[in-house]
Structure 1
Amino acid sequence: MQTERAPHMRPKDRLGLDGEAAASVHLERQGMRILDRRWRCARGELDIVAEDRGTIVFVEVKTRRGLAYGHPFEAITEQKVRRLRLLAGLWLDERGVRAPIRLDAVGIVAPREGAWRLEHLRGIA
């Protein structure tokens, strides 16, 4: 899957954007509604914010070309989960939203040749 991109973008950043686009399509196919993508504030960025039957879902997307540096989910550390919780609270406060929340992760292995493999973990914390 390819997204629009600036020609000066690093390959790693392009891969990340393509992974986020693939994750968004997957989430929509699961019945979720995408509320925000690449939301940024001074404290960091949320990859995807979606709504799943009244629950606001904050989705961390990790995309890798292969497993040489480990599975994409291995990059989601306890520190990263803490940051996601903080950012989720800031997103909710900014919009005045009060709803149940969930943190999910989408891991994608996207080899240069062959099919991509996407895994979706619900409720990572």
Structure 2
Amino acid sequence: MKAKDRLGRRGEALAASYLETAGLDLVDHNWRFGLGETDLVAIDGSTLVVIEMKTCSSLDFGDPMEGISATKLHRLYLPGVRWAQAHELRFTGIRVDAVAVLDNGTGEPQIDHLRAVS
């Protein structure tokens, strides 16, 4: 496995633990459908939450949150609707969150969670 893939998986695991501690119920990882993929899917009360992730090992190329485009976040509503349909579940709303993880492997990772970003 490539170092980039290992970093991404570690970041996703760190984010998942963080989000669960924050009270979200994670229900899916890397869910794919015909037009794309979601990084994480969670339930927050009666709201379905689609989460876009970005993990970086340094700030050399900017903050990891900068790697999550507004266009990408806007496009995550459709996967949320499709996920709910595929699992035959209904929610009062769909929210898109962004999570950025900065992890250089030597210290405590930094996790930034922005709710309802789009």
TM-score, length-scaled by structure 2: 0.91
2:50 touches 2:80 (CA, 8 Å); kept in 1? yes
Alpha-carbon distance in structure 2 between the residues aligned to 1:15 and 1:74: 17
Percent of aligned pairs with the same amino acid: 40
Aligned amino acid, residue 84 of structure 2: L
Q: 4+ residue stretches of structure 1 with deviation over 4 A?
A: none
SS of the equivalent of 1:98 reads coil
What is the total number of aligned residue pairs between the two structures?
Answer: 117
2:64 touches 2:100 (CA, 8 Å); kept in 1? yes
The alignment's C-alpha RMSD in Å is 1.2
SS of the equivalent of 1:113 reads coil
Question: 1:94 aligned to 59, 77, 86, which one?
Answer: 86
State how 1:1-125 maps to structure 2 within 5 Å: 9-99=1-91, 100-125=93-118
TM-score, length-scaled by structure 1: 0.87
2:52 touches 2:73 (CA, 8 Å); kept in 1? no
Larger RCO (alpha carbons 8 Å, 6+ apart): 2
Task: Give unmatched runs, 5+ long, in structure 2.
Answer: none
SS of the equivalent of 1:90 reads helix
